[in-house]
A and B are shown apart, each in its own frame.
Chain A
């Protein structure tokens, strides 16, 4: 299977703990995106990378959140001092670099469901 993979699929943690999620994009894709999805909502953009460079961050990405893509391949999303409001599905997507003035087809992984107790 050459799709986007995410690990772990589920994470239960206590408030105040740190958690880290991993995403492996489709191998030939140089863009990688992180989204958060809460119940009854569509995915909300958090941040994205072009190769190893983090090009944009949403206001949703508080200073407790940090994302890295050190070698331009897999990415990690870390949440420090988790809060109950962080409970959500964290989705990763990848795409090729889009053509000028056109959007990009993003392919999603299965997500990591985080529950903060």
Chain B
């Protein structure tokens, strides 16, 4: 099925560094969601975005809904070891269309 292009696929960073990842789609979306998944668990919702250009924060996490409505970005500031995991973007055109997920960005934090 359709998937979003998410990059980078993986990142190794030092504790305390900032992290950026992004997601692009060939289709316009009206909703972008960012999730984090730990091994053997389900994805946990981090941030939801509903308007083009919207910038939303959740603690050290900040996400933006791209102006073209075809991309979104997630930034993590001052990374800590518990930020380790796989981050997924997901988008949908409307509430009645399924969520489409990226393949994830695997984040490793070196203490």
Contact = CB atoms under 8 A, between A and B. Distances in A.
Interface of A: 4, 6, 33, 40-45, 48, 55-56, 58-60, 91, 93, 97-111, 113
28 contacts: A41-B3, A41-B103, A42-B4, A42-B103, A43-B43, A43-B88, A43-B90, A44-B101, A45-B1, A45-B99, A45-B100, A91-B43, A99-B95, A100-B95, A101-B30, A101-B94, A102-B30, A102-B94, A103-B30, A103-B31, A103-B33, A103-B93, A103-B99, A106-B99, A108-B44, A110-B40, A110-B42, A111-B41
B56 interface: no
Interface of B: 1, 3-4, 6, 29-31, 33, 35, 40-45, 48, 50, 88, 90-96, 98-104
Contacts of A40: 103-104
Nearest to B6: A42
B50 A106 contact: no
- Among B3, B4, B45, B93, chain A packs the most CB atoms within 10 A around the CB of B45
A105 B48 contact: yes
A103 to B, nearest CB: 2
- Among A33, A42, A59, chain B packs the most CB atoms within 10 A around the CB of A42
B96 A59 contact: no
A17 to B, nearest CB: 23
Nearest to B104: A42
